[in-house]
Amino acid sequence: MNKTIGDRLKEKRLKLGYSIEKVSNELKIRPEFIKALESDNYSVFSSDLYAKGFIKNYSKYLELDPENFSAVYRRDIQSNKLQVKKFNNTNSTENVKKTFSFSRRNFKFVLLFCFILVVGVIVLSILNKTFEPPVLELTSPVTLSAGTTTSSDYYDKTVRLIGLTSTNTVIKVNGVVLPTKTDNTFESELYAVTQESNKFVIEAISNVNVISRIDLTLNKRNSFIEESQGITGAIQIIKDNSLIKVIVDDKEVVNGIYFENDSIPIIGETNVSIQADKPDNIKIVLNGEEFKITEQILKIGLTNGRLIEVN
């Protein structure tokens, strides 16, 4: 077995009978460095240059061939370090390649996930819009929205249903299709209000058969008007609200705020006076005739069995 640099240095020192302290004092080398050289521990030196310098001085001091020791150091020690460094560099490069490859795969997966997520959101948005219930609003004879079921007193002999819907929607009233206009409004023909209870089912049906619905019942309240003497009728609030004041036969009978679908009966003998802060929100029917407030106040008088507006 070949002896190492450290073995040869130690063997020669002992043969010469030198102690480590003696060598240290004469060469001005710290004892721990001498021990490191003799045990082939070169990690204590900051560089190969220092290690080779100490080996050269120590071997020359021991009357050995310093060039031979330097050559052995280059062959055995530096070459091993170089191989280790190359190995480490190779591993490092491989690790970098693996890391880079892994990162690229991860990026592809993240990109694919984001793409699927965006497509999913778009598809869900389209599906939600496709299967969303269509718009359905009734604007006359009363104001109602989809999903409403209501009953209201009605004083005319006929009624026309008017409303609004969304595009690509079919409107049906009691199962019969109504045509829609280009602005998505619809208007029915006149329906006779002849029964005590007149029911209307208004449906808006989308192209994927999603339905919005309004159930409206109009209760006939004009049969007794034709038979009565004097002035008989009602004020109906058809939307929102209105502040209303009513004087019948020179006596104030109503003064307050009324809301949508409220109905105020009117029964008098000779005259009626009606005021409203929102005339468009109410409907006035007296003795089977409809009247409107065009000025600040509507005054009606009964003359020879007929109602006449009084200025």
CATH number reported for the structural domain that contains residue 2 in this entry: 1.10.260.40
Q: Are residues 207 and 290 in the same domain?
A: no
Task: Choose the final residue of a domain: 220, 245, 270.
Answer: 220
Q: Residue 89 has what pLDDT?
A: 53
More reliable by pLDDT, 112 or 102: 112
Residue 137 to residues 90, 94, 172, 192, 211: CA-CA distances in angstroms?
Answer: 76, 70, 13, 22, 13
Residue range 3-41, pLDDT digits in tens: 899 899 999 999 999 999 999 999 898 999 999 999 999
Task: Mark whether 182 and 85 lie in a shared domain.
Answer: no
Of 188, 220, 252, which residue is a domain's last?
220
Write down the pLDDT at residue 184: 93
Q: What's the CATH number where 148 sits?
A: 2.60.40.10
Strand ranges of the sheet holding 149-154, from the earlier edge strand across to the other edge = 149-154, 211-220, 197-206, 169-173, 176-178
Q: Examine the pLDDT at 83 and tell me if it is beyond 80.
A: no
Q: Structure tokens of 165?
A: 């819907």
Residue numbers of the domain that contains 156: 136-220
Query: Do 31 and 67 belong together in one domain?
Result: yes
Helices marked H in 131-252: 223-227
pLDDT for res 266: 93
pLDDT tens track for 147-160: 999 988 888 878 89
What is the rounded CA–CA span in Å between residue 36 and residue 34?
5
Q: For residues 96-101, give the mean pLDDT.
A: 54
Residue 225: per-residue pLDDT: 44
Whether the per-residue pLDDT at 90 is higher than 70: the answer is no
Let me know whether 8 and 116 are in one domain. yes
Element (H, E) at 120: helix 79-130
What local confidence, expressed as pLDDT, does residue 276 receive? 94
By percentage, how much of the chain surpasses pLDDT 90?
Answer: 50
Contact status, residue 56 vs residue 69, Cβ threshold 8 Å: yes
Q: pLDDT tens digits for 271-291?
A: 999 999 999 999 999 998 999
Residue 177, pLDDT above cutoff 70:
yes
Number of domains in the chain: 3
Looking at 79, 97, 130, the residue that finishes a domain is 130
Say whether both 237 and 276 belong to one domain: yes
State whether 206 and 292 are in the same domain: no
Shared domain for 4 and 61, answered yes or no, is yes
Bridge partners of 92, per DSSP, are none
Same domain, residue pair 54 and 170 = no
In this structure, the answer to whether residues 281 and 233 fall within a common structural domain is yes
Same domain for 70 and 110, yes or no, is: yes
Q: Are residues 227 and 268 in the same domain?
A: yes
Note whether 154 and 256 are same-domain residues.
Answer: no
